[in-house]
Structure 1
Amino acid sequence: MARDTTDFRPIETVDELVDYVAAGNKPREKWRIGTEHEKFPFYVDGHAPVPYGGDRGIRAILEGMQKTLGWDPILDDGRVIGLVEPTGQGAISLEPGGQFELSGAPLETIHQTCREGNAHLAQVREIAEPLGIRFLGLGGSPKWTLRETPKMPKSRYEIMTRYMPKVGTKGLDMMYRTCTIQVNLDFSSEADMRRKMQVSLKLQPLATALFANSPFTEGRPNGLQSWRGEIWTDTDNQRAGLLPFCFSPDFGFADYVEWALDVPMYFVIRDGQYHDMTQFTFRQFMAGAAHNSVPDGVPTMGDWANHLSTLFPDVRLKRFLEMRGADGGPWRRICALPAFWVGLLYDEETLDAAETMTADWTYEEVREMRAAVPAKGIGAEFRGRSLREIGREVLDLSRSGLRRRGRKNRDGYDESTFLSTLDEVVARGTTSAEEMVHAYHTRWGGSIEPVFLEYAY
């Protein structure tokens, strides 16, 4: 999750909120790629989860990385809960159950993204392995119960933990037992944002299918390929999922802002303290409802930025677009996810083709596809065709977009090489989740423990 921000400019009108988002418009030459990935820390001896404190805990990893990298600590009530590169080019943060997240720098190519991921994983291994800790690349916690999962000392998570059971059945699982790979991409205008939002919302269930990688819960198969995808179907439906109004031909920044205004808030920060705001929507906050609830109940642009970061649609709009459909996975997937979306959205010819392909896909149809994917993966069907078949076509589109971009590494390879792990999924006809379940029933001998060897970074 994003690092919470402070910006003390008071808000006076809704138009200012629209302008805030629209300020994300960038010319093509300034488009960048921001990749985030999360992973589960575990003790090599016994495969237990890693708590925050102690000589061999997550705090010790963060402190060790702070010394190694020279990054600035992010503090919450005096405790280090993350690190940020001094010029803002990347951050390391903690998810509620200790999931370790790299929020990468805004980069120009997937080659740079892969080098960034490699460097991060090498750095974190250097600090964690002497402590007997490694990291697991899965979309869902495969072994530990919710009770066994540690809780990180972040104030916003305390507020969310109290609130989630009031608005859905799976919010705590989302917080404490899932990991994702995400890519953040730019747009040049409102019209460009609309096209990218609509294409990526419609294709997000396909991404979930291709990246399905969470088939185990509490030590055994859960009957799903993306348990993480299933969790998102009932986390907090006021702020998550597909957004029907985004399918409108005239969807724009103001529509998203109007929706966001009526979603309950989580918190505001005043003088470094988090205040629970779950009883108010942002619209109510702007109308003065919190004057007696928090010191200085006047909403600020920092409050708005933080509120936008607590909305969880399948594609999230801030000053960029966030692709949120993929399970966490092995290293190759960290490179494949941004490659998949950059190929589709950053090349005009490919975006035209993807828009044409999905032009008449309706909200209801996409919602049905999204509902089928957690159990069926690429075997789910859309209009009588399997997502395996559709995925092959979409991967071809993405590949053509990456080749036209022509961003080559020193060996002369373009970014399309990073799609190979997804090409394998459609060629095999099985997701990594299905491969894991097969291994569980055969060579793993009905044990979950080998996953901590074979899917560790």
Structure 2
Amino acid sequence: MGGRRREGRLAGVFRGARGRVELVGVEIEVGVVDPRTGVSRPYAGERGVAALLELIARRWPGTAVVEEGSILGFRRDDGAEIMLESGCALEYGSPPAVGLVALVRRVRADLADLAALAHELDLALLSGALLPYDPSGHRTWAPKPQIPLMLDFFRAEFGTRSTGWAAMSRILSVQTTLDYTDTADRDAKHRTANLVSPLVAALFVNSPVWEGALTERLSHRLHVWAGVDARRTGYLPHALGDPLDLDKFLDAITGLAPIFRKIAGKAAPVPPGRSFRYFLDHGYGDGSYPTEEDWTALLSTLWPFVRLRRTLELRVADGPGHADWPAIPALWTGLLYDEASRAEAADLMRDTGRAELDALTAAVAEAGPAASFGGTPLRTRCADLVRIAKEGLARQVVQGLEDERALAFLEPVEAVAATGVPPAARLAEAWPARYAHDPATYVADHRYR
């Protein structure tokens, strides 16, 4: 990038592809666990995650992702990806699809195939929002050079208070990827998605268990994210702008310290205590300056609930059970791909600032839709949000943009809106008698198949 800031090149990643058709994709994180103990499996070994990736590479058409002799993922010829997460979970990334029904059909078939391959190795692919049976001290790290650099950063910045290690190794989610067609469309979708993220989180809370025991909260996953690094997670500065002030947005991001840089494609340490902006202006001290690969590396160490790139990646929801994941892309598609729904959804949270969103999300982690907002239970606004999404999706059906069968994907969140009972409450009720001492039953009930 040279020795001076080049805002145009930095901002290019936030500009998308003008006029792009509004496609939908998902990224589904799955735990790779022993089917009897529910404990996550290590990378190496006869029943390790590397063995599963190697089996996938033999059975699917495409290309294995290999770095320094270690298999880290697989790219199928049609664009689907299986990538190794830091803690040896796997992330399935779908090819973008025209419409929810086509997406769900393809992803369900792929997940069933992946689950069958895992079964051949006596492994299970676990749905949900975290790995509930991993005991204290259990770590299964992938062979990626950035992992020790990230762990060192969290320890140096936050000491024993840091939950960065847990975010890297214990939690799971289902993320939705949506398009924007121009700058104005980007800004409206980005702002609305940030504003309603606490409501979406409340509908999907699903992680009341940690290290084999019930906690006092409904989303331990959100609690983990809150302890990582407030500068990099949750709601980023200036994310509520419509229009988005891209200069201020970039200033906030480049003001962060990079956790690692890339040298010859490999993660490497960075001189500590300096911002990315400093390195843009002054270099790393060895005659080199940040590259586009370094900029991408910095962006990869931001984990907001709404991740803006050339698409919008929507990340707030806890991972649901294996049958209910289509509710997440269906909800977001109904909310953001219909202009009237987008405006009405944003109006539900009008005049809500970043600090209020942070506080509300923390309350949602504890109480889900029973959290209080403005003196009333959040459940009422959650119900309004589901109605708005369904109406938006129905209008897309009328316009020929969606198949009518997509409306059924919203049934899990319609049930939460009607009863006020989120998935975490059902899991907490079942835990003592059914799952606390029987991980095999939990895995059987929650594995992809």
TM-score (norm 1): 0.91
**Partner residue in 2 for 1:426:** 417
Matched pairs, number? 443
1:213 to 206, 210, 222: 206
Deviation at 1:247, TM superposition (A): 2.7
2:135 to 127, 145, 159: 145
d(CA) in 1 for partners of 2:36 and 2:257?
A: 42
Deviation at 1:250, TM superposition (A): 4.4
- Cα gap change, 1:91 to 1:366, in 2 (>3 Å): same
CA-to-partner distance for each residue in 1:310-364, whole Å, 9 max, x for gaps? 2112211111221110111223332111111111111112112223333322333
What SS does structure 1 have at the residue aligned with 2:426? helix
**Partner residue in 1 for 2:294:** 303
CA-to-partner distance for each residue in 1:41-63, whole Å, 9 max, x for gaps? 11123333211111211111101
**Partner residue in 2 for 1:186:** 179
What are the within-5 Å matches in structure 2 for residues 360-439 of structure 1?
A: 360-406=351-397, 413-439=404-430
Q: For residue 129 of structure 1, what is the amino acid of its counterpart?
A: H
2:145 to 128, 132, 155: 155
**Partner residue in 1 for 2:229:** 236
CA-to-partner distance for each residue in 1:205-227, whole Å, 9 max, x for gaps? 11211111111111110111110
d(CA) in 1 for partners of 2:355 and 2:231?
A: 17
**Partner residue in 2 for 1:174:** 167
Contact 1:156 1:267 in 2 (8 A): yes
d(CA) in 2 for partners of 1:17 and 1:171?
A: 30
Q: For residue 299 of structure 1, what is the amino acid of its counterpart?
A: P
What SS does structure 1 have at the residue aligned with 2:176? strand
d(CA) in 2 for partners of 1:223 and 1:201?
A: 26
**Partner residue in 1 for 2:16:** 24
d(CA) in 2 for partners of 1:31 and 1:278?
A: 41
CA-to-partner distance for each residue in 1:62-98, whole Å, 9 max, x for gaps? 01101111221112222101111346x2311111211
Deviation at 1:202, TM superposition (A): 1.4
- Cα gap change, 1:158 to 1:76, in 2 (>3 Å): farther
Contact 1:137 1:456 in 2 (8 A): yes
d(CA) in 1 for partners of 2:68 and 2:171?
A: 25
Deviation at 1:302, TM superposition (A): 2.4
d(CA) in 2 for partners of 1:196 and 1:278?
A: 37
What are the within-5 Å matches in structure 2 for residues 3-402 of structure 1?
A: 13-27=5-19, 30-86=21-77, 89-168=79-158, 169-277=162-270, 279=272, 280-292=274-286, 297-402=288-393
d(CA) in 1 for partners of 2:231 and 2:417?
A: 34
- Cα gap change, 1:453 to 1:198, in 2 (>3 Å): same
CA-to-partner distance for each residue in 1:8-50, whole Å, 9 max, x for gaps? x7685332234413431432x5222121010111112333321
What SS does structure 2 have at the residue aligned with 1:149? coil
Contact 2:15 2:309 in 1 (8 A): no
Deviation at 1:264, TM superposition (A): 1.6
- Cα gap change, 1:230 to 1:445, in 2 (>3 Å): closer
Contact 1:167 1:237 in 2 (8 A): no
What SS does structure 2 have at the residue aligned with 1:423? helix
For structure 1, the residue ranges without an aligned partner over 5 or more in a row are 1-8
Contact 2:30 2:125 in 1 (8 A): yes
Contact 1:207 1:325 in 2 (8 A): yes
Contact 1:392 1:423 in 2 (8 A): yes
What SS does structure 1 have at the residue aligned with 2:313? strand
d(CA) in 1 for partners of 2:403 and 2:267?
A: 50
d(CA) in 1 for partners of 2:271 and 2:231?
A: 12
- Cα gap change, 1:47 to 1:314, in 2 (>3 Å): closer
TM-score (norm 2): 0.92
Q: Which moved more, 1:306-315 or 1:35-44?
A: 306-315
Question: Percent identical across equivalent pairs?
Answer: 26
Q: For residue 110 of structure 2, what is the amino acid of its counterpart?
A: H
Q: For residue 287 of structure 1, what is the amino acid of its counterpart?
A: D
d(CA) in 1 for partners of 2:59 and 2:116?
A: 9
d(CA) in 1 for partners of 2:416 and 2:304?
A: 26
Contact 1:220 1:448 in 2 (8 A): no
What SS does structure 2 have at the residue aligned with 1:83? strand
Q: For residue 218 of structure 2, what is the amino acid of its counterpart?
A: Q
What SS does structure 1 have at the residue aligned with 2:239? helix
